[in-house]
Amino acid sequence: MKTFCFKLYKAKRNQKLHKQINAAGLTYNYCIALHKRYYRLYHKSLNVYQLQKHLTKLKKIKRFSYLNEIGSQAVQDITQRIDRAYKLFFDNLKRKVRTAPPSFKKIKKYKSFTLKQTGYKLCDNATMLFFKQNINLVAKANKTLSKKKKGSNNRQRAKLALARLHKKINNQRKEFHWKTAQRIVGEYSLICIEDLNVKAIQRRFGKKISDLGFAEFVNKLKYIAERTGSKVIEINRFYPSSQLCSACGCRNKETKNLNIREWICPSCGVVHQRDKNAAINILREGLRIACSMKTCGRDIDHSGENS
C-alpha cells in the first residue's frame, strides 16, 4: 500500500473538504459519546459493527445529516480507529500501563480523515528550491513576528506566515530526500550506511542534526530500495568505522575526537581523511555482511522479481 500525506490549505476551493473534515470530527465525537454511554450502562465496550449499523440508521435523521457529508468508508474508518484505541486502552489496563481512554477532540483540532474511496485528485505543484534561500526568509519572518504587538491580529498573521514557511521548508527537505534517495538507489544495488544513534547524536549536537532529518532520509532510502530490489545494509553503530585504518586495519582510538578531520595511521603511516576512511570501512563491513548473508543461503535480493 502506498501512503500519501498532504496538507490541506484553507482556500475557497477546499471548502467542501473542510466541511467534510468538520463532519468527520463531529462523527468522531458522537462515536466517543456513544462508547462512553454504552459503557456506563452495560459495563462493556461497544461492538464496532453494532456502532456502524447504528450510524447507518442515523443517516436518515436530519440532525445527523453530517454523516452523509463523508463517505461511508470514512465513517467506518472512524469507528474502527476508535475501536482500536479502546482495545489498546483495555490491553494497557490489563498490563497495568496507565493510559487515557480515547476522548473527545476539539473539532477545530480535528484535522485528518481518511479517503478510502476513489475519485480524489491530487494536485502536485511542489517546486524544488534551495535551502539557503530560506534561511533569510525565516530570519525575516521571525523579525516581523517579534515586532508585532502581543495578542494582536497582526501577530497572529505573522505567526501563521512563519509556520507556513517552516512547513514549506520541511516539504522541500522531504522532496530533496526523496530525490536523493531515488538517485542513490537508482545507481547502486548495495548501499551501506552506519546505523547512527540519532537520538544520542541529537543530545550531543542539538538541533543541527534534527534539521538534517537523517533518520527520515534513511527511512525513505529503505522504502525505495525495498521496492526496487536494492539492498540497504546498516552497519552496527558500535562498529568503529572512523577509528580503523582502511589500509592496514589498525585501530586508532584517538580519532574518536570528531574535531580530528585528518590523521596519520600510527602503524602504517597512511594519511587518512576522516570521512573518506570511515566510508571505505563502512563499505568493506557492509560487503562482508552481504557476503555472509549469501553464504548462509539467504537471498540478498528481496524484490523477488529478478531471479
**Which residues lie near Zn ion (CB under 5 A)?**
245, 247-248, 250, 265, 267-268
Cell numbers 545494509 correspond to 233
- As measured in angstroms, the least distance from the Cβ of 243 to Zn ion is 11
Say how far apart CA 112 and CA 99 lie, in whole Å.
22
Please, which residue, 45 or 243, has the CB nearer to Zn ion?
A: 243
Q: With contact defined as beta carbons under 8 Å apart, do 222 and 182 qualify?
A: no
The Cα-based distances of 126 to 80, 168, 213 in angstroms read: 33, 9, 19
Please, which residue, 250 or 258, has the CB nearer to Zn ion?
A: 250
Q: With contact defined as beta carbons under 8 Å apart, do 138 and 95 qualify?
A: no
- As measured in angstroms, the least distance from the Cβ of 144 to Zn ion is 55
Please, which residue, 162 or 247, has the CB nearer to Zn ion?
A: 247
Please, which residue, 250 or 260, has the CB nearer to Zn ion?
A: 250
Say how far apart CA 289 and CA 169 lie, in whole Å.
37
Say how far apart CA 4 and CA 166 lie, in whole Å.
20
Please, which residue, 190 or 247, has the CB nearer to Zn ion?
A: 247
Strand positions, DSSP E, the chain: 190-194, 231-235, 262-264, 271-273
Please, which residue, 51 or 265, has the CB nearer to Zn ion?
A: 265
**In whole angstroms, what separates CA 298 from the centre of its chain?**
30
Q: Cα 178–211–139 angle (5° rounding)?
A: 115
> In 10 A of CB 231, how many CB atoms?
21
Q: Cα 201–206–208 angle (5° rounding)?
A: 95
Say how far apart CA 277 and CA 251 lie, in whole Å.
12
Please, which residue, 172 or 246, has the CB nearer to Zn ion?
A: 246
- As measured in angstroms, the least distance from the Cβ of 280 to Zn ion is 12
Q: Measuring CA to CA, which residue among 66, 154, 44, 55 is closest to residue 110?
A: 66
- As measured in angstroms, the least distance from the Cβ of 94 to Zn ion is 57
- As measured in angstroms, the least distance from the Cβ of 173 to Zn ion is 38
- As measured in angstroms, the least distance from the Cβ of 194 to Zn ion is 20
- As measured in angstroms, the least distance from the Cβ of 249 to Zn ion is 7
